[in-house]
Amino acid sequence: MENNTIKPGVYEEIELKAQSGMAVLISNIFFMLVSLGLIIAAAIMLDQGEAVAIGVLLLIVGILYISIVGPMLFVGLKVIKPNEALVLTLFGKYLGTLKKEGFYFVNPFSVAVNPTAPNPALAAVRTAASMNSVAKTAEVAPTTFGKHISLKAMTLINSKQKINDQLGNPIEVGIVVIWRVVNTAMAVFNVDNFMEYLSVQCDSALRNIVRMFPYDVSDAGDEMSLRGSSAEVAERIKTEIQSKAGLAGLEIIEARITHLAYAPEIAAAMLQRQQASAIIDARKMIVDGAVGMVEMALCKLSENKIVELDDERKAATVSNLLVVLCGNRDAQPIVNSGSIY
């Protein structure tokens, strides 16, 4: 959607300029006390039968202020704590957002909007729907205090997912996402519930990115893998989530992989494969070292002229040394008191 078709009241955050709430609070209490005095004065005037019309007028004014005007002005008083925001609408139109901490007075008819706040009317419906929802298993730090929206950095931990990697192996992956609200208008008006929206987008991005990489590196070892390149994969996941979360006015600060393992049905087979690969690598290292040691031994014997060995006895010496150096068990020495010839 192009920018010229975007409604500013929905997509652009408007910082509301509200007056101090302390002045309104003090003046409202003062006028309520004055109204109470007017009611008392009107009652005295009506009891004495003097200036009945004025007494009735004072009585009406006092009652109206105490019962309607005064309480309505109290409703317009709002307290904003640090790193909190209040999104206000007036008769269905976006009025603005209070983001700076303090005590304010706003239009008493304005309504605070927060889609993540508990709604008793939808509680039963959301509970039933969440039984099959991804957001059911998401663990999210508390983000709301009544109708206030938290601007703090928060943590989202979705449940572990079973995903097929690039080679088709089923693996279990879990991530943690650090995020915060940066545009309250987009968070409130662009999506139904920005917390559930983020949870779904995290699961979708995780699946899209994980299936592009193998769990482990190949024999060549020249490609990225989930286990060996976790930082790069996490950065790809963060970028993918941010591309979707921007619609809801959210900023993804960090995304990290917290759990990575083969699925239980193939975990045993993959463990055997890893063990076999480790044994092969260890044997290669042992053989390379043994060959170097045998070569060094023969060179030293020849340079120092300790013993002259023909080709047949060199072969026998090499065979014996390789058996000793590459064997799984310690060699048992045999003392030869005779001549080798």
Question: What confidence category does residue 123 fall into, taking pLDDT thresholds of 50, 70 and 90?
Answer: very low
Which of 104-113, 174-183, 289-298 bottoms out in mean pLDDT, i.e. has the lowest? 289-298
Tens digits of per-residue pLDDT, 287-330? 777 788 877 877 877 777 676 776 777 777 777 777 776 766 66
Q: What is the structure's pLDDT at 4?
A: 43
Share of the chain above pLDDT 90, in %: 16
Residue 2 has pLDDT above 50, yes or no: no
Question: What confidence category does residue 6 fall into, taking pLDDT thresholds of 50, 70 and 90?
Answer: very low
Rounded average pLDDT over 204-218: 84
Would you say 94 and 110 are in contact if contact means Cβ atoms under 8 Å apart? no
Residue 213 has pLDDT above 50, yes or no: yes
Question: What confidence category does residue 166 fall into, taking pLDDT thresholds of 50, 70 and 90?
Answer: confident
Q: What is the structure's pLDDT at 8?
A: 42
- pTM beyond 0.95: the answer is no
CA distance 6 to 14: 14
Rounded average pLDDT over 65-82: 88
Crossing angle for the helix pair 311-326 and 264-303, to the nearest 10 degrees: 140
Neighbour-count burial of 137, counting CB atoms closer than 10 A to its CB (0-12 exposed, 13-18 middle, 19+ buried): middle
What is the domain partition of the chain in residue ranges?
A: 3-112, 130-262, 275-326
Q: What is the structure's pLDDT at 127?
A: 44
Please name the amino acid found at residue 289. G
Share of the chain above pLDDT 70, in %: 74
Residue 114 has pLDDT above 80, yes or no: yes
Q: What is the DSSP letter of 247?
A: G
β-strand partners of 174: 259
Residue 27 has pLDDT above 80, yes or no: yes
CA distance 188 to 10: 9
Would you say 52 and 60 are in contact if contact means Cβ atoms under 8 Å apart? no
Secondary structure (DSSP) of 64-124: HIIIIIHHHHHHTEEEE-TTEEEEEEETTEEEEEE-S-EEEE--TT-EE--TTS--HHHHH
Q: What is the structure's pLDDT at 105?
A: 92
Which of 100-114, 203-217, 272-286 bottoms out in mean pLDDT, i.e. has the lowest? 272-286
Which of 70-79, 188-197, 307-316 bottoms out in mean pLDDT, i.e. has the lowest? 307-316
The CATH number assigned to the domain with range 130-262 reads 3.30.479.30
Angstrom distances, CA of residue 217 to CA of 93, 226, 227, 228, 276: 55, 8, 8, 7, 15
Which of 17-21, 105-109, 226-230, 332-336 bottoms out in mean pLDDT, i.e. has the lowest? 332-336
Tens digits of per-residue pLDDT, 29-66? 998 898 888 888 888 877 776 677 887 888 888 888 88
